[in-house]
Amino acid sequence: MNDNSMDRRTFCLDMGRLVGGLAVLSSAPWLHGCTEESIAGIGKEVARIGMIGVGSRGQYHMHNLQGIPHARIVALCDTYPVNLEAAHALCPDAKTYSDYRALLEDPEIDGVVISTPLYNHAVITLDAMAAGKHVFCEKSMALTMDECKSVYDAYMASDRVLFYGMQRMYDPKYIEGVQRIREGLIGDVVGMRCHWFRNADWRRPVPSPELEQSINWRLYRAYSGGLMTELATHQLEVCNWVAGKVPVECVGMGDIVYWKDGREVYDSVNVTYRYSDGRKICYESLISNKYNGLEEQVLGKKGTADLSKSFYYLEDDNEISGMRHLMDDIRKGVFAAVPSAGPSWRPEYKGEYVPHQLASEVLGVNAGQSMVSAMHDGSDLAMSAFCTSCINGERAANIVEEAYSSTMLCLLGNQAMDEGRLVRFPEEYKIPYLKF
């Protein structure tokens, strides 16, 4: 353990504060592994973790694991020597491997954390479960719909624990925010709008040309689903969490607008998803302008919640009468005279809204610009829950199913953009958990 590690008592108290009520556990049942009772129940046992993929995201997970009292990193694996050397410097006592299959043969490993490129998420997850290991895999679940279904079926036939890196499901501000929305804070939810904007080419330095696709895998279709599987997967999961269901169809457009550098994935995407009740998710992402940053807006009849920043705004909170708007415009010279007849006049521009805090405590807000992660985004809590499950064998409710649904929506969005048509959620990929 490093100097920043928390003792078990402190860690348990922090978890207890997060999941302090039955209502929260009802809306986010996967948090059961974070409760004080669950952590106390594992006693002094420690989960022995092997890391598969120790690039930037893998090393981020390593830092979190080193601060978790019931975790110990015992093995590291990467095909890129530079990454492996850097990770070994962080954890010099761990064994090192260049082939993940050799790591899976180690009987001293309880669970593995997979932080590799998307295209091999499915095969490594399947191999790890077959080897008897518990698995934490980064999002998204897989590169294809067939792979998603194969992983889900294998999980259902297994007794192994499987987690996915959907950290918003463990982020306190999202947990409390979704709970308050479900309790009626902003009235009936009528729609959702999400966007994620950056201004960077999404490239990493390549020391040798033959390493281009292995290092910049996010830019090539054989390895990545682009902006949808790398960014939208988080936001679509939140929308489904709020709605309690999954959209039935989507339509969209995708283009390479600015970064015409040989990449194959879109640098600009717009996708609209429709639920069976007519509510919609409007999703947009591009990486050549960052003005709008990251937002996840839930639109209600009485107000709007921005879960990413943990604010909400009420429709009637700062309402100014239409006549006052009209008189102000006359004074400014917008109109020459007051209309003498007709219905009550209402401005068609956006009024002023007063922000109110959505969650009782906000430790961090993600501006959306980091390619690795953000502080206090729930990743540490998710990893703690995984390690607890590695020890007691208890599966976290709904994690796999939520990862499945959000990944499938991302892949459907890509299909809609590629084919230029409306696509429906395929019957053959529907699983019992999903509500439409």
Q: How many CB atoms lie within 10 A of CB 335?
A: 12
Q: 71-77 and 47-52 as β-strands: parallel, antiparallel, unpaired?
A: parallel
Judging by beta carbons within 10 Å of its beta carbon (0-12, 13-18, 19+), is residue 18 exposed, middle or buried? buried
Above pLDDT 70, what percent of the chain? 86
pLDDT single digits (tens) 134-185: 999 999 999 999 999 999 999 999 999 999 999 999 998 999 999 999 999 9
The predicted pLDDT at position 371 comes to 65
Copy the structure tokens of residue 94. Answer: 């761990």
| 227-279 per-position pLDDT tens digit | 999 999 999 999 999 999 999 999 999 999 999 999 999 999 999 999 999 99
State mean pLDDT over 67-77.
Answer: 96
Q: What is the pTM of this model?
A: 0.89
Q: Are 164 and 141 in contact (CB under 8 A)?
A: yes
Per-residue confidence at 321, pLDDT binned at 50, 70, 90? very low
Does the pLDDT value for residue 338 go beyond 60? no
Domain boundaries, the chain: 1-187+207-290+371-436
Residues pairing with 283 in the sheet: 194, 271
pLDDT score for 332: 63
Tell me yes or no: is domain 1-187+207-290+371-436 CATH 3.40.50.720.
yes
Tens digits of residue pLDDT in 346-381: 445 566 789 999 988 777 787 777 767 677 788 999
Q: Parallel, antiparallel, or unpaired: how do β-strands 303-306 and 356-357 relate?
A: unpaired
More confident residue, 47 or 32: 47
When pLDDT is averaged across residues 3-7 and rounded to a whole number, the result is 45
Query: What does the pLDDT read at residue 2?
Result: 38
Q: In this predicted model, what pLDDT tens digit does every residue of 192-229 receive, in sequence order? A: 999 999 999 999 999 999 999 999 999 999 999 999 99
